[in-house]
Amino acid sequence: MPELDGRVALVTGGSRGIGAAICTELASAGAEVAVNYARDASAANAVCDAVREAGGSAHAVQGDVSTAEGAAALVGAVEGDIGPIAILVNNAGITRDDLIMRLSEEDWRSVIDTNLGGAFFTCRALSRPMLKRRTGVIVNITSIVGVHGNAGQTNYAASKAGLIGLTKSLAKELGGRGIRVNAIAPGYIATELTHALPDQAREAILGGTPLGRLGEPADVARAVRFLCSDAAGFITGDVLAVDGGLGI
192 sits near ligand NDP (criterion: CB under 6 A): yes
Strand ranges inside 65-163, DSSP E: 85-90, 136-141
Q: How far apart are CA 219 and CA 221, in angstroms?
A: 6
Do residues 140 and 166 make contact, with C-beta atoms less than 8 angstroms apart?
Answer: yes
Size of the residue set binding ligand NDP (CB under 6 A): 29
Site residues (CB under 6 A) for ligand NDP, limited to 100-119 = 114
Among 10, 87, 91, 122, binds ligand NDP (CB under 6 A): 91
Among 27, 65, 130, 161, binds ligand NDP (CB under 6 A): 65
Strand ranges inside the chain, DSSP E: 8-11, 32-37, 57-62, 85-90, 136-141, 179-186, 239-242
- The site string for ligand NDP over 28-47 (x = CB under 6 A, - otherwise) reads --------xxxxx-------
In the complex with ligand NDP, which residue's Cβ is closer, 50 or 131? 50
Residue 101 Cβ, how far from ligand NDP at the closest point, in Å? 23
Instruction: Please state, in angstroms and as integers, the Cα–Cα distance from residue 120 to each residue in 65, 134, 144, 186, 208, following that order.
Output: 9, 19, 20, 20, 32
Q: Name the catalytic one among 37, 108, 121, 156.
A: 156
Q: How far apart are CA 45 and CA 23, in angstroms?
A: 12
Catalytic residues: 156
Name the site residues for ligand NDP (rule: CB under 6 A). Answer: 12-13, 15-19, 36-40, 64-66, 91-94, 114, 141, 143, 186, 188-189, 191-194
